[in-house]
Chains A and B, each alone.
Chain A
Amino acid sequence: MLEINNLHAELETDADVTILKGLTLSIKPGEVHAIMGPNGSGKSTLSYVLSGKDGYSVTAGSAMLEGVDLLEMEPEERAAAGLFLAFQYPVEIPGVGNMTFLRTAVNAQRKARGEEELSAGDFLKEVRAKAKDLQIDADMLKRPVNVGFSGGEKKRNEILQMAMLEPKMCILDETDSGLDVDAMKLVADGVNALRSENRSFLVITHYQRLLDHIKPDFVHILADGKIIKSGGPELALEVENNGYADILAGAA
């Protein structure tokens, strides 16, 4: 599904700051991978570089989604190709209703893929059903995108977008940050409901907590722009119990 090979990226504004230093990762259809790592290891940068945010330049390496070069595409083309990033800090957009936003996004992607746009009625039916599962009420759908939403509401709104857009490759950037236990469970249930043999996940997190709910197939430790250790779910437990120090020392 996603093949990242020897990816190097630096800040566009400061070529001296290299953040990703040869990251390699292969995710197969249906797999859930988790990336953990200390602050500043490059976790969020990885999500931004993959989704095409301005401000980073890729100096070496590649990232392919189902054989297509992601790095050559505009952010909206990556989305239409099936990539989705659940933001760590979902953006507030005053003046744009959540429904309008969702419908514009869904139809833009369908159009880009040469599919027919969803009718207003079908869209409404689908969004209502999916919102209900995530306990998103009608009021939240009507309000401007993320404006006045609590931390939990924002994250649930991200998952609703994911559910509506039905991407192939989902990246969750610290989706657990700012969530209480109940909200995390709700979000995790939403993600788990979307797991399928054709859809893959890359879960970026600081803590093992989220991985209790979204069980990963593989866990990777990212440090200083590289994956320094990979393993199964037990690796996340090791981090939880001993911190990163041992692993970092072992890799050095």
Chain B
Amino acid sequence: MALAKLKQDATLARLAGITLPEGATWATAARSDALARLSAMGLPTRRDEYWRYTDPASLIVADAPPAALFDNGEAPLFAGVDRIALVFVDGVFDAAQSDDLAGAGIEIHRLADVAQRDIHWAKDLYGTLESRGQHPVERPLAALNTAIASDGIVIRATAKVQKPVHLVYLHQSETSDVTLHNLVRIEAGASLTLLETGPGAARLSTCLEVDIADAGQFHHIRAQGSDHERRAVTHCFAQLAAESVFKSFTLTFNGVLTRNECVIDMRGDDAVAHVAGACVGDGGDFHHDDTVFVTHDALRGESRQVFKKVLRNGAVGVFQGKILVKQGAQKTDGYQISQSLLLDDDSQFLAKPELEIYADDVACSHGSTTGAIDETALFYLRSRGVPMEAARNLLTLSFLAEALAEIEDQALAEELQTRLEGWLARRA
């Protein structure tokens, strides 16, 4: 399809300034291919169907808008968890702050290293799921990430890994513009928990490709931190083989712009994929967008999308979620719910749930709601002596509870819950 001239010109102008990172032949090929994909697609504009509710301009401009640092005095997340912590400061790997790139049942490398090697398993995965995930919906910013990312973490789990791997993205420069690309390969029967915490940079782009073999399990828990002016665009592409499990949860607070895309391809029978998110936003410059695409292409797949947003003082939340059930994907069980709690009349929630089903023996359901605090429940709590503000906070947390319940690890869930309580308390 020929691109409109204007879009093509804008894309070419923007890409003209880009130099691809150097690497081994396969890496250079993967990056050039990604750049070619991007040139063909063009960079997104608000005219594109999947960018109608979110303006991509500030994610695309050559110079990232600066973002002030914000310290709320809270201790770093998951610091008490027995984990393998890998730290990036404004996108630069910090070996001194990081644990050894090793663990039982696991291989960990930096992308910057493996991209220099002629032979590495990463070459079969790098850009592969991203490239496949460009259809039927284009994700140009993911292709941009694949093209220009020079670092990231590459993980292969060969057994049930006990310690979670924690990618810590620290933000220390007000003008940092960071692109990281991570790969995860879960071998048959293996399992891994990946934690990610940010804000990471003034502008952060992450792309995660996850390949899960038969009966493998991948658990992903992410917190997108609290710098008010930061911007982030994240992509997760996952491929699920038979009886594998993928579970991802994201907590987002603050940030002027967050776009989280999750693209899941259920290719093996009896696979399970859960994607969930909770976000809390305050203020007219808060914009949060969850865009999810789940494809069922095998028998008896189970997928769940659970997204909850709390919005106040003019904050905007977006949900675009799709379940595509391909012909032959019988006995699919697909579920999708997106809900917003608007704490005032100025905030906005835009939802676009989509189901597209070509199999005739499936159970798919979806729902989307927007509401205010339940006045009856508020009075009930107050009549029991709970002060107004505490009662509102309790009801706000209860609204988010269904999304947090998607996190299997109770301790991790409670830690995130505590952060939410802190966020609410700061806004009292």
Assess whether B362 is interfacial by the CB under 8 Å rule: no
| Residue contacts A-B, CB under 8 angstroms, 26 given | A51-B383, A53-B383, A54-B379, A74-B382, A74-B388, A75-B379, A75-B382, A75-B383, A76-B384, A78-B383, A85-B383, A87-B383, A91-B376, A91-B379, A91-B380, A93-B377, A94-B398, A95-B397, A95-B400, A105-B381, A105-B386, A108-B385, A108-B386, A108-B387, A112-B385, A165-B385
Q: How far is the CB of A222 from chain B (nearest CB, A)?
A: 21
Q: How far is the CB of B224 from chain A (nearest CB, A)?
A: 22
Q: How far is the CB of B290 from chain A (nearest CB, A)?
A: 20
A51–B377 Cα gap in the complex (Å)? 14
**A161 proximal to B (CB < 8 A):** yes
A62 within 8 A of B: no
Q: Which residues of A does B touch, CB under 8 Å?
A: 51-54, 74-76, 78-80, 84-85, 87, 90-96, 100-101, 104-106, 108-109, 112, 144, 161, 165
Q: Are B390 and A104 in contact (CB under 8 A)?
A: yes
Distance (whole angstroms) from the CB of A36 to the closest CB of chain B = 23
Q: Does B375 belong to the interface (CB within 8 Å)?
A: yes
A95 touches B399 (CB 8 A): yes
Nearest first, the 8 A-B pairs at minimum CB distance are A95-B398, A95-B401, A79-B385, A109-B385, A105-B384, A75-B382, A91-B380, A96-B398
B146 → chain A closest CB, angstroms:
39
Give the interface residue-count category, chain B: 20 to 34
Q: Does B395 reach chain A (CB closer than 8 Å)?
A: yes
B395 touches A93 (CB 8 A): yes
CB distance from B404 to the nearest CB of A (A): 9
**Smallest CB–CB gap between B310 and chain A, Å?**
12
Known contacts A54-B375, A76-B388, A91-B377; A96 and B394 CB within 8 A of each other: yes
Taking the nearest CB of chain B, how far is it from the CB of A192, in angstroms? 22
Known: A90-B380, A91-B374, A93-B381. 6 other contacts (CB 8 A): A76-B382, A94-B398, A96-B395, A106-B385, A108-B390, A112-B385
Given contacts A93-B398, A96-B398, contact A161 B380 (CB under 8 A): no
Q: Which residue of A lies closest to B402 (CB)?
A: A95
**Chain A residue nearest to B379 in the complex (CB):** A53
Residues of chain A within 8 A of B391, CB atoms compared: 76
Interface 0/1 of B402-414, CB less than 8 Å to A:
1000000000000
Structural contact, A93 and B384, CB atoms closer than 8 A = no
How far, in Å, is B393 (CB) from chain A's closest CB? 10
